[in-house]
Amino acid sequence: MELRLKKLILYRLIITTVTLLMGLFFQLEGISAFWGPYAFFYFLIFLVYGTTVIFALLIRKRKARDLTFLIYSQTTADALIITGIIYITAGSASVFTPLYILAILEAGVLLERKGGLMAASVCSIYYALLLGLEHYWVIPSLTPRLPYHNVVLLYTLFVYILAFYLSGYLTGYLAEEVRKSGKELTKSREDFSRLEAFNRDVIQSMQSGLLTVDRKGQISFLNKAGEKILDIRTSQIKDRPITDLFLDLNQDFQEGLRSRMETAFQRHDGEEIKLGLSISSLKDHRGNKVGQIITFQDLTLIKEMEESMRRSEKLATIGQLAAGIAHEIRNPLASISGAIQLLKEEKEEGESSQRLMEIILAESGRLNRLITDFLLYAQPPKLNKKKVDVGALVDNTLEVFSRSPQWTKGIKLTKIMEPNITISADPQQLEQVLWNLFINAVDAMEGKGVLEVKVHKDGKGQAVTLMVADTGKGISPKDINNIFDPFFTTKEGGSGLGLSIVHKIVEIHGGDIAVESRPDRGTTFILTFPTS
């Protein structure tokens, strides 16, 4: 209300100024609009200016509940000043009588119907008193007396009073409707803003990526989860074709003939992730299709888990088969080896025979080691879990390995191990895991490089991470998914069981193993075990 009151004070000043200019114009042109002295007219005009200034100052000091009284006071004063102007400008014949309407409009706009009717009543009383007092010579008339009949006087008074009340009522009614409409509009805007904010928060809080495409197939929106999954910003892809983002997006999926598909996506950092995409139509409030909505999730971890399960099932099947084969082969090999040893001790039949027997013995030993590894993989020894200090176990294994034939002087060793980290494990099997990983690392570096071993707990202290890294030739992308498969090897003369055994032992300990490798940048094996 205070703001509207200030605006109306401004309008009041404008109207008063216009009235002043009209008086000056009449005076300069010699038009007979005033029957009294012009000085009295100007006094009334400047009285309006003065009261306006006073009301403006009071508005600044008064509280909201006092504004109604100020408006009534201002309206009453305005009506009184207008009555004075009418009195000196021909009274009942004055051209300024419609100024009453302005005072009524002022009250009606500010105080609605109640204020409008009150102002109409005040103006009616003032105007009736003026006409009555002037007609019956109670006050001196400043104009020549006109031969008014009582009926004419009453008719004039009735017309003006009716106009006053109609103006007050209509102005107040319109002001009330405007106020109600304003409140409803404000409430609608607030509801819309809240709904818009809620929808925005829901979309931005989703864990899945959400992307919208317009009718032209151009990207129009990507939520925060989508930016995080794809490692990209909306500004980088906005208004670009969807096929620029997902290269293998087929036509059936784009046209909505298929609602789901899976695709590979390569992020800016070079990492390739697996995405599951779902598509649906984007429609406006009329139900017309205006684009498409594509939601997507990062399935990389799920795919890795599925692959791990398939690998475990495959390894279990092969393990059962391997156990049977190993038992069938090992006994004949022992007999062959024993017979050849007796033959060698009994007599020598020449250099070629001696060489042949040495080869047979060597191959028998290699075959025996292969079978031994096979049995270790197929039927690992029963777990004999103890509380194992991981750091001490790593130190002991490295000390023994550094004296083995596989170790070379060109290899530099780096150890970063947190102290007093223990897990519940079989120390012999864990030592076997480390030994196999060290052999692979040394072979990959071909006699020169850095072997790095790290042991630490995760941030919550619920798991222990053992990392073995080398700076060797790395593993090619096409081979990295097969390195834990039995008999898969890229080394000449390798059995292909070393990493399969490592995987098996880590698995039966309730741990997890992952590998990170790039060609010519080395390989890192990350083993995770639950804390003891």
Higher pLDDT, 467 or 341: 467
Q: Quickly count: other Cβ atoms within 10 Å of residue 178's Cβ.
A: 12
Residue spans of beta strands (DSSP E) within 259-410? 260-266, 272-283, 289-298, 386-389
What pLDDT is attached to residue 447? 83
pLDDT average, residue stretch 11-38:
71
Given a contact cutoff of 8 angstroms between Cβ atoms, the answer to whether 205 and 142 are in contact is no
The answer for 226, left when phi > 0, alpha when psi is -120 to 50, beta otherwise, is alpha
pLDDT exceeds 80 at position 355: no
Between CA 225 and CA 243 the distance in angstroms is 20
Residue 501's closest CA among 304, 319, 365? 319
pLDDT exceeds 70 at position 327: no
Between CA 116 and CA 303 the distance in angstroms is 76
Geometric angle at alpha carbon 200, from 197 and 201, rounded to 5°: 85
pLDDT average, residue stretch 187-208:
80
- pLDDT tens-digit profile of 223-267? 888 888 888 888 888 888 888 888 777 565 556 555 677 888 888
Residue 119, CA distances (Å) to 16, 74, 115, 134, 165 in order? 18, 10, 6, 22, 9
Query: What is the pairing mode between strands 411-417 and 449-457?
Result: parallel
E strand or H helix that includes residue 83: helix 67-88
Stated pTM of the model:
0.43
What the chain holds in terms of domains, given with CATH numbers, is 2-184 (no CATH), 206-298 (3.30.450.20), 303-378 (1.10.287.130), 386-530 (3.30.565.10)
E strand or H helix that includes residue 78: helix 67-88
Amino acid letter at 163?
A
Length of the chain: 532
Res. 352 pLDDT band, cuts 50 70 90: low
**CA-based torsion, 483, 487, 493, 498: positive or negative:** positive
pLDDT average, residue stretch 53-64:
70
Given a contact cutoff of 8 angstroms between Cβ atoms, the answer to whether 91 and 47 are in contact is no
Between CA 314 and CA 114 the distance in angstroms is 89
Q: What percent of the chain has pLDDT over 90?
A: 17
Residue 164's closest CA among 134, 111, 127? 127
The residues, ordered by sequence, that sit 6+ positions from 178 with a Cβ below 8 Å of its Cβ are none
